[in-house]
Structure 1
């Protein structure tokens, strides 16, 4: 669960960095660094969710780019409570 929590936040933060860079100055070096970071975090979110849940809603939510990890984490907490 900790892995999912960290990866979800990294995925969201890297998406914000990419979008802010695109909307403002569009520095290629930022896109070069943040793009692969976002992609790796996205894949890690999906893998961590699949490993932590047998099936269900969190797995479907995890594939939403950008905010899927945060949604899956919230859904997993709701199921555990």
Structure 2
């Protein structure tokens, strides 16, 4: 698996888990969901940051990766527009 493919998967997982956590918070607020999905979201977030650092040296692209939830998607968009994805 290439780093770009891994970034796509991590970005999707980060966004999906954030949506699930926020939905849980806004509705039933079950601690079991938070304790199960929270670490997955955190790992996906860190993977996005690490993979971005491996793929691109520009500081502004690395800063995009730090945006919670959509950072990975913003990085993928930036890489695609630059012709690197």
TM-score, length of structure 2 as denominator length:
0.91
- Give me the CA root mean square deviation: 1.0
Match of 1:21 in 2: 24
Measure how far apart 1:31 and its partner are.
0.2
Give ranges in structure 1 of 5+ residues lacking alignment: none
Structure 2 match to 1:57:
60
Match of residue 48 from structure 1: 51
Separation (CA, whole Å) in 2 of partners of 1:76 and 1:57: 12
| Cα distance in 2 for residues equivalent to 1:70 and 1:57 | 14
Kindly report structure 1 stretches of 4+ aligned residues shifted beyond 2 Å.
none
Tell me what 1:11 maps to: 14
How many pairs align?
81
Between the aligned partners of 1:37 and 1:16, the Cα distance in structure 2 is 12
Alignment gaps of 5+ in structure 2: none
